[in-house]
Structure 1
Amino acid sequence: MLTTTQFYSTCTSPWTLIFSFCTIVLLHIFRRRPVLPFPPGPKGLPILGNALDMPCGNPWLTYSQWGKTYNSDIVHVNSLGTHVIVLNSAKAVHELFEKRSSIYSDRLKGKGLPYRIRMSWNIAFLPYGPRWRAWRKVFYEHFHPNASRQYRPRELRAARQLLENLLRTPEQYRHHLRFMTGQVIMGIAYGIEVAPHDDPYVSLAETALQAVESASTTGWTFDMLPFYKHLPWWFPGASFKKEAARLAPHIDDMVNKPYQTVKDALVTGTAVPSVAASMIASLGENPSHEDELASKAVPATMYIGGADTTVASLLTFFLAMVLHPDAQSRAQREIDSVVGAGRLPDFGDEMSLPYVSAVVEEVMRWHPVAPVAVPHRLIVDDVYKGYFLPAGSIVIGNTWAVLHDESVFPEPLRFQPERFLNLNVKLPDVGFGFGRRICPGRFMARSSMWITVASVLAAFDICPVVNGQGVPQIPKEEYSAGPVSYPEEFACTIRARSKHAEELIVSSLRDTT
């Protein structure tokens, strides 16, 4: 008979722990064998399943290749008992995320990415339930199509300011684009006018965005590995936990500091209209913790969700114009014929500039800012095309695959705006998410994108840099692999189209202030 000491020694020996771990994993994997098959996918290893197959860099390309390899628009992998379903077509996305949205709108459970960086308040990460529905409703009230139109004057002023900044220091175009997006979003969210350089609120937000980038680059993958959240930060591959812990306080500052600024301004009577001011004013004298948390979450979600994505889209626009001068020239000819030489485009010209609008659509299709959407979670068992999809599955919408489907977009890697002049082709809103999880700020984002693109095309030529031998230096089409995918640094020449255009830039900014 074992003594108590011997019993605990046996139970805690390394081999016993390994055996126990393997047994638990096997029981988890084989606890039920569905009658119907899983969707096709790469064959996994014993116990590990497809854990080693999960891509860390450019996952949208791996997922797309799996779809082609297995000739299926829905692919299945099993990572240590966690089922992952990838949707690679508009049809699959529509059938599951749209028509069955009530069971496909949840997010990952447990202490995953949002908790590691203290961003569980972010509406995009909230579990599907009463809190999400309530906060989403408030967000939509400020950003539905009609409500979004009230922000157009601010978007127009920011676009005009961008033109003047590009005229003065065109080589700093990346900084100018980031300032413009901060100017728009901080103004709408908090009524805060940001400084052109070293603005403390923009700095807070940028550090917070770095935290999201750092955690997301590896975080979503490891959320698919059930045991990984228990490993210490020094374990190989888990160092991102330490980095996330370092950056998390900056997330807190981004949520709390501009919010407190608005509260103080309301007390002194100096607050300007904003989403935060409206929500704080509606709280009353003794707000509940839940109501105050919502009034912080909505404007903060605005910034964290809109700043990076808008900058990435506009950088893709600049890269596309450098690489495709014919598209740039055609758009400029359209602007010249419709708007004329006496002014710059405004929102009233949108319906008369179909090719410019097609350029905007093609920018968002050619390289979507979020090639892989934030993962969904299936609530109950489901069946699709005769395949079994188990409850608890992580369901990933591959935005890249949907927008590069050759049956819908021939030669999908080509930048070809005219494809959207065909009335039978309409860009799905998948670039903004799926189903009930689609971004409610997409209407404002589109209008801001349109006025910026139209204004820049009217005023500037965007060209390759020419070296000392007169040879154009064509930049490479390279993108970052993070959750928001940016073009890598590239040089370009941005010059006013004429002396008259320079004068128009200066006078148009004065007219909007």
Structure 2
Amino acid sequence: MQSTQASPEVLSVESFSSRAFAWTLVISFCVPIFFHLVRRRQNVLPFPPGPEGLPVVGNVLDMPSRNQWLTYCRWGKQYNSDIVHAKVLGTHVIVLNSTKATCELFEKRSSLYSDRPPLPSLTQLIRMSWNIAFLPYGPRWRTWRKVFHEHFHPQATRQYLPRELKATRQLLVNLLRTPNNYRDHLRFMSGQIIMGIAYGIDIAPRDDPYISLAERALQAVESASITGWTFDMLPFYMYLPWWFPGASFKKEAAILAPHIDEMLDRPYRAVKDALAKGIAVPSVAASMITGLRGEPSHEDELTSKAVPATMYLGGADTTASAFLTFFLAMVLHPNAQRRAQMEIDRVVGTARLPDFDDETTLPYVSALVKEVMRWHPVAPIAVPHRLAADDIYEGYFLPAGSIVIGNTWALLHDESVFPEPNRFWPERFLDPDVKLPDAVFGFGRRICPGRFMARSSMWITIASVLAAFEISPTTDGDGVPLMPAEDFTTGLISYPEAFACAIRPRSKCAEGLIVAAMDAP
């Protein structure tokens, strides 16, 4: 009978394979446990204080869907901490409620805090991954940021002052003709300035296709930031059908995303066509396209598209919001309006409109502009940052991958810096020791690159409107003022809710100045 016993060589190989397999199992099982224990040993420090969550889902039910900045402020006071913590399933959320915390983390440790979370509602569902505000921190972001700086550093923005002044004068004319359409006029002016800078395109006063396109794109961003947050906090929702509870934004995004694509491509194609015909006006897009050599790579062409599109989308939306807040503030606070107008009459006189050269001699007007930006900031909550590695702050453990939110509202309503923070009081900025924080424009390396132009545009517009018009509440049939509510929308950009106001020339002389502005070069 033939033996079936395996040879020693075969036994050796089989036993080696068995031992290797066993060791693989041991290593696969033990290594994660080892690193877990090491992590636990490192993580002996507590998380920052915050609302106590439920098992598994954490603080899903605690996360606010409206006016998040107010909830985060309340948490800071409730837990007596300038940094608070929540957890949504496996995602840690850290909110910074003070200048001290944002300076220490976003500024001094910017290499750790300059990344962005994926934000799939914005980057994937509505296809805005090209917007520099949402780019992850890395080579592409640094390249695009450098291009932005070339066009928007303080000296570069001086070339845009004549365009800003011309658009402001046109705004005055439009307000004189149809004051009830002031919201449309403010949006037109904001788009007129940035569209000219980004693409060299003059837009039509009414029904302009580029303005309409931008409006649809902005609607997509607003919808994503309000109703798409589920996909940002719970990424597995990306794999669920639109009819699943909480995933309905998928259906809306499929309609909105093509508008984003067109926003990126259409004005860019218009500039390319104008360059080919030799009729292009100087612009950021024109200079970038001209700088392309030979057959451009996909990355080079994407840069040439994305940079001006980001400029336009960001600039038009934010400045329009700030101007609407100014109009609301003037309706609600007539004493501040009168004091600013008295200063303009005294310094500039009534024979001309203010110019950029008047800024240093109109301190109260400048203080009023700052108070508009502080009273209700355009972006009360900054676009979230992402923590790149484990960190420790004030004895609290901050885990890698955390979503870190700068609560701009909290910084600008800090009672220790701005007494009576909810009060609209420009006088606070007449004190040279009181400064408007840069947090108005974001944090750290992610601060808005267009902030210098935004400041100059806000100043000349507000000074000119104050010089020319009286802004007041509308009245009922008995002449009783109808004061609007101090209500604002929720989203990445926050607007005053629609309100009525009366806009009238301050005098016949002021009306004459406005009419003369129509013929100004």
For normalisation by structure 2, the TM-score amounts to: 0.91
SS in 2 for 1:295: helix
Task: Give 1:219 deviation, angstroms.
Answer: 2.4
> Does residue 364 of the first structure (1) align with residue 373 of the second (2)?
yes
Query: Which of these residues, 169, 187, 190, is aligned with residue 181 of structure 1?
Result: 190
Instruction: Tell me the residue number matched to 1:462.
Output: 471
What residue is the counterpart of 1:346 in the other structure? 355
Shift of 1:466: 1.4
In 1, distance between residues paired with 2:231 and 2:294?
43
Choose from 139, 143, 162 the match for 1:153. 162
| Separation of aligned partners in 2, 1:285 and 1:334 | 56
Amino acid at match of 1:334: E
- Separation in structure 1 between the aligned mates of residue 234 and residue 508 of structure 2, nearest angstrom: 59
Residue of structure 1 in register with 2:145 after alignment: 136
- Counting only pairs closer than 5 Å after superposition, residues 377-392 of structure 1 correspond to structure 2 as 377-392=386-401
Of 230-239 and 75-84, the range deviating more from structure 2: 230-239
Task: Read off the aligned partner of 2:391 and give its amino acid letter.
Answer: D
Tell me which amino acid in the other structure corresponds to 2:413: H
Equivalent residue for 1:242? 251
Which amino acid in 2 is paired with 1:460? F
Partner of 2:79: 70
Say which of 385, 396, 418 aligns to 1:409. Answer: 418
- 1:172 is aligned to 181
Question: Displacement of 1:220 after TM fit?
Answer: 3.4
Q: Percent identity?
A: 75
User: Displacement of 1:224 after TM fit?
Assistant: 1.7
Helix, strand or coil: the match of 2:135? coil
Give the TM-score normalised by structure 1: 0.93
Distance in 2 separating the partners of 1:283 and 1:154: 27
Unaligned runs of 5+ in 2: 1-34
Deviation at 1:231, TM superposition (A): 2.1
- Residue number in structure 2 paired with 1:80: 89
Instruction: Tell me what 2:8 maps to.
Output: none
Question: Who is 1:15 aligned against?
Answer: none
Q: Distance in 2 between matches of 1:234 and 1:77?
A: 28
Between the aligned partners of 2:38 and 2:335, the Cα distance in structure 1 is: 59
DSSP 3-state at the match of 1:395: strand
Root-mean-square deviation (CA, aligned residues, Å) is 1.4
Give the superposition deviation at 1:218.
Answer: 2.6
SS state of the match for residue 124, structure 1?
Answer: helix
CA 1:336/1:445 → structure 2, altered by over 3 Å: closer, same or farther?
Answer: same
Corresponding residue for 2:25?
A: none
Task: Quote the Cα distance in structure 2 between the aligned partners of 1:190 and 1:109.
Answer: 29
The counterpart of 1:272, out of the listed 278, 281, 295, is 281
Deviation at 1:111, TM superposition (A): 3.7
Q: What do residues 426-456 of structure 1 show as CA deviations (whole Å, max 9, x unaligned)? A: 0011111100000000111111111100000
Partner residue of 1:20? none
> Which amino acid in structure 2 is aligned with residue 247 of structure 1?
L
Q: What SS class does the counterpart of residue 227 from structure 1 fall into?
A: helix
How many Å separate the matches in 2 of 1:126 and 1:318?
Answer: 33
Q: Cα–Cα, structure 1 residues 341 and 292, in superposed 2: closer, same or farther, change >3 Å?
A: same
Give the 3-state SS of the residue equivalent to 2:111 in structure 1: coil
Task: Work out which of the residue numbers 453, 461, 465 in structure 2 matches 1:444.
Answer: 453
**Gaps spanning 5+ residues in structure 1: where?**
1-27
Q: Which residue of 2 aligns with 1:421?
A: 430
Shift of 1:29: 11
Alignment-derived partner of residue 7 in structure 1: none
Q: In 2, are the aligned partners of 1:157 and 1:509 still within 8 Å (CA)?
A: no
Alpha-carbon distance in structure 1 between the residues aligned to 2:343 and 2:119? 52
Residues 56 and 221 of structure 1 are in contact (CA less than 8 Å); yes or no, is this contact kept in structure 2? no
Q: Which moved more, 1:199-208 or 1:223-232?
A: 223-232
The counterpart of 1:45, out of the listed 41, 51, 54, is: 54
Match of 2:6 in 1: none
Say whether residues 1:104 and 2:104 are aligned partners: no
Could you tell me which amino acid in structure 1 is paired with residue 75 of structure 2?
A: W
| Cα distance in 2 for residues equivalent to 1:401 and 1:71 | 14
Out of 114, 118, 141, the position equivalent to 2:127 is 118
From the CA coordinates, give the structure whose radius of gyration is larger: 2
The number of residue pairs the alignment matches comes to: 485
Deviation at 1:113, TM superposition (A): 2.3
